[in-house]
Amino acid sequence: MKRFFPVVSRDGPSKRQKDEEPVCKGETDLLGPSATGAVAEESEKTSDKVGIGGASNANDRPSTGGSLLDEKKDSKDEQNLASIFRRAKSFGAGTAEAPSTSGYERTGKSPTSFMSWNTNSFIIRMKANKQEVVRFVEQHDPDVIAIQEVRLPAAGEKKGPKNRGDMSDVTNSARDEKQFMTRALAAAPFSNYRVFWSLADGKYSGTALLVKKEMEIVGVAYCFDDILTRMVAGEGEPASGRKGPKHEEEGRLIMVEFPEFRLLNTYGMNNGWKEETFQRRRDWDRRLLELVQALVGGKPLIWCGDTNVSHTDLDVSHPEFFRWQKEKGYTPPRDVDVGQPGFTQAEKDRFSEILEKGRLVDSYRHLHPKKDYETGFTWSGHPVGKYRGKRMRIDYFLLSESLVDRLESSEIHGTGIEREGFMGSDHCPITLRLREKLVHNA
């Protein structure tokens, strides 16, 4: 912005898929200091030297346009989810036992400024566009930087278990890339941040979250299951025998809990052009709906990232173009699945349901209610080809309703069809700023 998500052709928002099933897997321990200190530790060792799925089973039935929670849910699933909701209601600040937060300073500080960006390869941006990137970070000085489409492979042997919280170094080229990124992130302005990774098997997908070191971190999770059962329901540490946190197989999400709210960084799955990929996207959206519903009534949520969906006609430059796009003349059997991935009616309806039931507000549209043809889109098609000038807003900062009163700014930092401000990616960065929380004296 694979099978958790399709690959993007660079002249348009469509991606091919891998055949693995999207699952949460246990990884080696990356909790506490071992996660946040990874960059600094690796730096000491080496200092001398671009747009737009879940798995389907044979018994899965396709969506018919109803509630996401009505899709593929048996009574056991519903009972488990209801139990999670009940426990989530009583969850309060500081009760998350997992993951471990040892080593994080208890400053009481929560972030107020945020940056989100699909880099279309973090390492390429840091090599080819480093000056622009550094200048942008220095200018905006965000407390949190959320990165999507990192495209760095996870540590671990090719056919062995993966450590998705660290970069691969099993080949000479991977080792060189890890050393380059380690040095780059150990230098200013990135040296002011803790770095959290959730990476895929190869140079695909993946997310990262950079958090200023003075911010207090209550908990971190990398998988739907851990967020629901460990962070939200407060069930504590993983079962005996599991070495560390679970990650989504393609590294598509990271959640960090701060004293005042939770922040979720996601790289959404591409809807693709065929039923198999439609079902994967339905599954992904269903998990998101479960998550945001479980969080209602607890700490507020800030959800950011590349969602791979444009919510309304206001969010695309050419609605009719995107509405009727086809791949190789194929027309899906269901009308709601027709169109550009990220702009089908089915995706937009599910996104609406997620926002409504999660009680979330689109921060940019809240402050900018009218279409802006110059700076109102976050993804831009390749300057050459049929997608030239075709643009979409698929990157968001979505806020719990209780945070709207603190909303100061929500901005898109790319301009025009020549991708000014995109810093080499097919997405431009977006920023959010909140007012400081008011403290009422008794």
DSSP structure string for 10-61: TTSS------SPP-EEE-S---THHHHTHHHHHHHHHTT---------TT--
Q: Where are the domains of the chain?
A: 24-53+69-434
Distance CA 290, CA 311 (A): 19
Q: Which of 247, 311, 413, 427 is catalytic?
A: 427
60 annotated binding-site participant: no
What pairs with residue 82 in β-bridges? none
Tokens of 227: 């967020």
Structural element, H or E, at residue 163: strand 163-167
DSSP assignment, residue 343?
A: -
Q: Is 140 among the residues known to form the active site?
A: no
Q: What is the pLDDT of residue 62?
A: 36
* Residue-by-residue pLDDT tens, the chain, 442 positions: 433 333 333 344 544 334 344 456 654 333 333 344 444 444 444 433 333 323 333 333 334 345 555 544 444 444 554 444 444 433 332 323 334 444 566 778 999 999 999 999 999 999 999 999 999 999 999 999 999 999 999 999 988 999 999 999 999 999 999 999 999 999 999 999 999 999 999 999 999 999 999 999 999 999 999 999 876 666 655 544 455 679 999 999 999 999 999 999 999 999 999 999 999 999 999 999 999 999 999 999 999 999 999 999 999 999 999 999 999 889 999 999 999 999 999 999 999 999 999 999 999 999 999 999 999 999 999 989 999 999 999 999 999 999 999 999 999 999 989 999 999 999 999 999 999 987 655 4
Assigned CATH class of 24-53+69-434: alpha beta
Q: What is the pLDDT of residue 159?
A: 85
Q: Which of 267, 364, 387, 396 is catalytic?
A: 267
Q: Which of 166, 201, 226, 306 is catalytic?
A: 306
141 annotated binding-site participant: no
Distance CA 301, CA 304 (A): 10
> Which three-class secondary structure state does DSSP give residue 386?
coil
CB atoms within 10 A of CB 226: 24
CB atoms within 10 A of CB 442: 2
Q: What is the pLDDT of residue 410?
A: 99
Q: What is the pLDDT of residue 39?
A: 46
172 annotated binding-site participant: no
CB atoms within 10 A of CB 74: 7
pTM listed for this prediction = 0.80
308 annotated binding-site participant: yes
* Non-local CB neighbours of 346 within 8 Å, separated by 6+ positions: 63, 65, 278, 282, 334, 336, 337
Q: Is 169 among the residues known to form the active site?
A: no
426 annotated binding-site participant: yes
306 annotated binding-site participant: yes
55 burial (CB, 10 Å; 0-12 / 13-18 / 19+) is middle
The residue written with tokens 């831009």 in the block is 380
The residue written with tokens 């962070």 in the block is 231
* CB 206, CB 168: distance < 8 Å: no
Distance CA 403, CA 435 (A): 10
The residue written with tokens 């941040």 in the block is 193
Distance CA 248, CA 302 (A): 20
Q: What is the pLDDT of residue 296?
A: 96
Q: Is 267 among the residues known to form the active site?
A: yes
Distance CA 408, CA 112 (A): 10
Which residue pairs from 228-232 have beta carbons closer than 8 angstroms and sit at least 24 positions apart in sequence?
228/84, 228/290, 228/291, 228/294, 229/84, 230/96, 230/97, 230/98, 230/99, 231/96, 231/98, 231/255, 231/257, 231/262, 232/84, 232/87, 232/88, 232/91, 232/294, 232/295, 232/298
Tokens of 428: 């431009």
